[in-house]
Amino acid sequence: MGPETDTSRMSDTIHVLNGPNLNLLGTREPEVYGRATLADVAELCRAEAGRHGLQVVFRQTNSEGTLVDYIHEARGARGIVLNAGAYTHTSIALADAVAGVGVPMIEVHLSNVFAREPFRHQSFLSPVAKGVICGFGPQSYVLAIAAFAQMAASP
């Protein structure tokens, strides 16, 4: 088995990584992104992870390079939940980082990107993702963590 499927070598940690402008959740375009703050999302993630005996590292940055560093630091984790914001549609560097660390990644979005502007339909991350969850607001993150827990429990 490769590192992406050998659960015996993975920690019980999920890295939840957030890209640009997600620090503005709750106030930025609430009609699109809702009223939950990033702190609310972090709390939901920790609660869901705790239900499955998992830990969460929760981070946000507006810098593409820092997001690459965060992905590198997730090496050995059970998984990465990544909401790269606008970098989803522009960053080959993030896709290369995900491919390079050998950690399964689930791409998440608060809004349904496919119901929005056409440029949001393109993702450089989807080809290196285990899956994509979008359109469920903060529950998109909860669903991703539950998916990692289910994958760990499955033979």
Active site residues: 33, 109
- Which of these, 58, 116, 125, 59, lies nearest to 87 by C-alpha position? 125
- Which of these, 1, 35, 9, 15, lies nearest to 148 by C-alpha position? 15
Tokens read off for 142: 């909860």
**CA 24, CA 124: separation in Å to the nearest integer?**
23
**CA 76, CA 73: separation in Å to the nearest integer?**
8
Q: What angle do CA 88, 46, 42 make, to 5 degrees?
A: 50
Tokens read off for 77: 């984790």
**CA 113, CA 138: separation in Å to the nearest integer?**
14
Tokens read off for 50: 């705790």
